[in-house]
Structure 1
Amino acid sequence: MEPTPRRNLREEQKNLTHRRLLDAAVTVLTEKPFLDARMEDIAQAAGVTRATVYAHFPGKAEIVDALVARVYGVMGEAYAELAALPRWTRAGIRAWLDEAAADWRAMAPVRRVANAAAPAALRSPSAGRVQYVEAHERYVAMLVGSPERWRGVGPAESRQRALMAVLQTESFFAAWIAVEWPLETADPLRLLADSLCHLLAPAVENDSAGGA
């Protein structure tokens, strides 16, 4: 049975409010430490009642969970786009990095807040590790999902190469964009593309004539 238009509208409004509250939480947690921030602060920043905040999130820890999930979601979308490329070439990987860097810049404030708040918000020492591992397992699965791309390479090696490429990309973007590490090179992504092409070499094809 198809959802009614009214139901669809309610769901859309609920999702919009959810995103609005997370945006407000980023604003508040950028200005205040996690332990000092209050649900009332987030409600005020979002322009809603405190009851509305509690209707979406039982507490601050759940808000941080949602922020971390948002970061992992954006990263997942980026790796899905890389996995969806018909061919991996140096030019294609470099073009993908340009788009991924833009996504990371847009997500940098959320990542900074989530990184700072997560240690205080986690309800068990292993929760963050489990979430991290599960997210990265998804990214790796995307990148090795096409056996034709990895012909001649065993599953163990292809998975490790994919994981190393993910970690290389993530750590570099974290330092360069989230931490704002100053770099002296004119084109940092050129060097990152070199590194990824080396790690993914068995699955990377030669660029066509005139490639980057």
Structure 2
Amino acid sequence: MNKNVLLIEDNLELQNLISSFLKSYDYDCVVFSKPLEALKDFEENHHLYSIVILDLGLPGMDGFDLFKKLKEIKNIPIIISTARDDIGNKIHGFELGADDYLAKPYEPRELVLRIDATLKRYINDDKIKINDLTIDLDKKRVSLENQEIEFTKIESEIFFMFIENMNKVVSREDIVNQTSLKKDTKNRTIDMHVSNIRFKINDDSKEAKYIKSVWGIGYKFTNDN
């Protein structure tokens, strides 16, 4: 299981305490105190993280606004860690899709238990159903009408990159940089791999249900059918 945590907390003493405690439980913790820096890192490296621990009282941006921006980039589990312990903020957090809400102060061990429980839920429910496609994110398997699809290694890497960036444009450059394709791979080779994926998931490039071409840039996987 991926145990990489993005911690966004502007109280440096608490930041160090939580980070050190998580590391003692084998979690890799990347920390930020400034929301814009955290957001920039998440835009570039969201595929590396399995969960976010988010403070609400941040400098320059409200935590709830940052929460929404993070979720727009990737549907990742988020635990809110905050001194705002009133019921109104807690309800708003859960309405936005928070997986848990911890009011400060709390014991770091409790946070570890909440993280463990949240990630277990995501592993147990780590399947996406889109029309006739069933996508197992944990096992990296895809089935069409209950028949497992046999992707090549590259096809699988590209397909799950599309899924991770659902409804977002993925450039050919991104595909080269974030898969095991060689850096000098030609665009037509990338397009061939995508064409093979389309065929295997029963998607028609002329009337695409899932993988839509974005002229001059790359592709976008949509689930709005």
TM-score w.r.t. length of structure 1 = 0.30
Query: Which has the larger share of strand?
Result: 2
TM-score w.r.t. length of structure 2 = 0.29
Query: Which has the larger share of helix?
Result: 1
Bigger RCO of structures 1 and 2 (CA < 8 A, at least 6 apart): 1
